[in-house]
Amino acid sequence: MYHLATVFPPIRRVRIPLSRDQIMLLMAAVNEIFLGIDIYLAHSISGTIVPNEWIPIIFGPVAGAILLVTGLIALKQRPLATLIATAVFLVSIAVGLLGAYFHVLRAALPEGPEGQRLTVRLLVWGPPFLGPTMFSLVGLWGISAAWVEDPPDSGRLRMPGGWHLPLPLSKTRAYFLMFGLGIMVTTISAVLDHARTGFENNWLWIPTVIGVFGTVVSVTLGFIERPTRADLITYVIAMLLLILTGLIGAWLHVNDNLTARGAFVAERFIRGAPFLAPLLFANMGALGLIALLDPRSEGLKHDG
Which contiguous run of DSSP H or E holds residue 146? Answer: helix 133-146
pLDDT of residue 264: 64
Query: What is the per-residue pLDDT for 299?
Result: 54
Predicted pLDDT of residue 26? 95
Positions of the chain with pLDDT under 50: 300, 302-304
- Give per-residue pLDDT as tens, 156-213: 988 877 788 888 899 999 999 999 999 999 998 888 887 877 777 788 889 999 999 9
pLDDT score recorded for residue 304? 43
Rounded CA gap, 297 and 270, in Å?
41
Residue type, 175: Y
- Residue 42 in contact with residue 269, Cβ under 8 Å? no
CA 145 to chain centre: 14
Q: Which domain holds residue 185?
A: 3-303
Q: How confident is the model at residue 266, as a pLDDT?
A: 61
DSSP 181-216: HHHHHHHHHHHHHHHTTTT-SGGGHHHHHHHHHHHH
- What pLDDT sits at residue 32? 96
Q: Beta 156-158 vs 164-166: how paired, if at all?
A: antiparallel
| Total domains, the chain | 1
Residue environment code for 190-210, b if the CB has 16+ CB neighbours within 10 A, otherwise e: bbbbbeeeeeeeeebebbbeb
CA 237 from chain centre, in angstroms, equals 18
